[in-house]
């Protein structure tokens, strides 16, 4: 499962501070010291994106359980999965009279609930957060799939991170909706706060779009022939 999470998780795409730091002497002419002196910047962004995955829902949820979607999606976002620990796993077979056969046919009626703890490396020199710990909760049923990943606590410049994935049947395809929310806190000249917020908003929107693209690639790569 990936977490989805993962993000889960396209922090490697956030170039928030790179453009902000590139200023010339001419550009600073006439600007008061209070405008460029470092002060606390707190930014928050939220984005949502939906897309149809070109495989049936039963097949999609089966491959999400069977295959390592977490690693595929995390690494698609320019991050590195360091550790993956299962905290809790429960499979309810009460709705499935032929669990083994249906699992082989990717028509399982079982319900799965699971929790993981993920440790990822943030490959972005502009964000001072070498490692980020996420808790991921997943609930997968024949009707829908929900995965939520959230940071255990602050990590460097990153105050909080939360990503969610919802998937449900849509005819012969699977409709997925990805959301991401993040908060950053950094010392930055007040003159650059507005640009930093704009970059953060853009990064959040790019994150959810690329998360859906990663899910599409994962599904097509693991679809049955």
Give pLDDT tens digits for 80-94. 788 989 898 887 656
In a domain, 11, yes or no: no
pTM, to two decimals? 0.74
Question: Phi and psi at residue 2, in whole multiples of 5°?
Answer: -125, 120
CA gap 45, 173 in Å, rounded: 30
pLDDT for residue 170 = 94
Domain-embedded: residue 132 = yes
Domain annotation covers residue 109: yes
Phi/psi of residue 73, each to 5°? -80, -40
Helices (H) and strands (E) in the chain, counts: 6, 7
CATH number at residue 164: 3.30.530.20
Containing H/E element for 132?
strand 131-140
For residues 66 and 62, give the distance between their C-alpha atoms in angstroms, rounded to a whole number.
6
pLDDT tens, the chain, 225 aa long: 444 444 444 444 444 443 344 333 334 444 455 466 778 889 999 999 999 999 999 889 888 877 767 776 666 555 678 898 989 888 765 655 655 444 544 556 667 888 999 998 876 555 666 788 989 898 988 899 999 888 888 888 888 889 889 999 999 999 999 998 989 888 888 888 888 888 888 888 888 888 888 888 888 888 765
Q: 205: domain range? A: 39-222
Chain CA centroid to CA 69, Å: 12
Flag whether 17 is in a domain.
no
Q: pLDDT tens, 201-221? A: 888 888 888 888 888 888 888
Residues in the chain: 225
CA distance 123 to 60: 29
Check if the beta carbon of residue 116 is closer than 8 Å to that of residue 136.
Answer: yes
Is there a domain that residue 184 lies in? Answer: yes
Residue 21 within any structural domain of the chain? no
22 within a domain of the structure (yes/no): no
As a dihedral over the C-alpha atoms of residue 117, residue 10, residue 128, residue 162, rounded to 10 degrees, the angle is -50
Within-domain flag for 55:
yes
Query: How many structural domains comprise the chain?
Result: 1
Q: What is the pLDDT of residue 142?
A: 87
């Amino acid at each position: 499962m990936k977490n989805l999470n993962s993000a889960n998780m396209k922090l490697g795409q956030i170039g928030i501070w790179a453009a902000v730091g590139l200023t010339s002497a001419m550009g600073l002419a006439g600007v008061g010291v209070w405008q460029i002196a470092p002060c606390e910047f707190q930014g928050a962004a939220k984005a949502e994106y939906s897309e149809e995955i070109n495989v049936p829902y039963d097949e999609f949820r089966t491959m999400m359980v069977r295959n390592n979607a977490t690693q595929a999606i995390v690494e698609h976002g320019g991050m590195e999965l360091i550790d993956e620990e299962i905290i809790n796993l429960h499979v309810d077979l009460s709705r499935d009279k032929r669990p083994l056969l249906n699992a082989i046919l990717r028509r399982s009626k079982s319900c799965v609930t699971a929790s993981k703890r993920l440790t990822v490396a943030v490959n972005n020199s502009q964000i001072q957060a070498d490692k980020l710990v996420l808790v991921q909760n997943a609930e997968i049923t024949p009707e829908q799939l929900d995965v939520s990943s959230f940071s255990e606590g602050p990590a460097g410049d990153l105050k909080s991170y939360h990503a969610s994935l919802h998937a449900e049947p849509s005819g012969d395809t699977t409709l997925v909706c990805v959301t991401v929310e993040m908060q950053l806190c950094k010392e930055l000249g007040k003159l650059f706060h507005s640009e930093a917020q704009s970059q953060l908003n853009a990064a959040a929107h790019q994150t959810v779009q690329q998360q859906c693209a990663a899910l599409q690639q994962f599904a097509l790569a693991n679809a049955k022939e």
